[in-house]
Amino acid sequence: MSFSGCLSYQYERRVEGVEIKDPADAYSLGKTTIGNVLCSLGAPDEVHSLDNTDLLVYQRSLFQENGLSLGIPVFDMATGWSVKISAAGAVTRYDTLIFWFNSQGTLQDIVFEKASGRSYLKTLFSKQND
């Protein structure tokens, strides 16, 4: 038990939403309607309106955090001070599928990004403009 409080490792994972699959060529620009998308994917997670464009957003998020703590509590008793070092890294990655529809409800554009497949460490240590 003397180890407890000295060195500890924490790992946390949070998932929100169901898996989003690559739509590939399942939808056609200028032909697919909002009704087609709702029939195949169900309700979107978010709905937005931009100018004369309506967006349906399907999203899944994956949060991961690793933490390592090192402390020497015995110093507390002997000298009144202690050494504590801790480091943690948290990353949230999103799988996102966005449909843009014009005011007639016809598909104008589609964007898909599967970020959850990226490496945790590479994402954590990558530069912001990567």
Partner 1 sequence: MIRRYFFPVTIGFILLCTGCFVFGTSKDYHPFDPDDLESIQPGITTATDISGLFGAPTSTVELSNGNAYIYHRSVAKATLIWLVLVSFANYDTQVDQIVFFFDKNDLLTHYGASLNADKAGYGLPF
User: Closest separation between CB of residue 8 and partner 1, Å?
Assistant: 6
Q: How would you class 36 by CB atoms within 10 Å of its CB: exposed for 0-12, middle for 13-18, buried for 19 or more?
A: middle
Q: Quick one: 56 or 80, whose CB is closer to partner 1? A: 56
Binding site for partner 1 (CB under 8 A): 1, 3-4, 7-18, 34-35, 37-39, 41-45, 47-49, 51-54, 102-105
User: Closest separation between CB of residue 9 and partner 1, Å?
Assistant: 5
**Nearest by Cα to 37 from 100, 79, 96:** 100
Q: Quick one: 4 or 128, whose CB is closer to partner 1? A: 4
CA distances from 52 to 23, 49, 55, 88, 126 (A): 24, 7, 10, 44, 36
What's at 97, amino acid-wise? L
Q: Quick one: 48 or 84, whose CB is closer to partner 1? A: 48
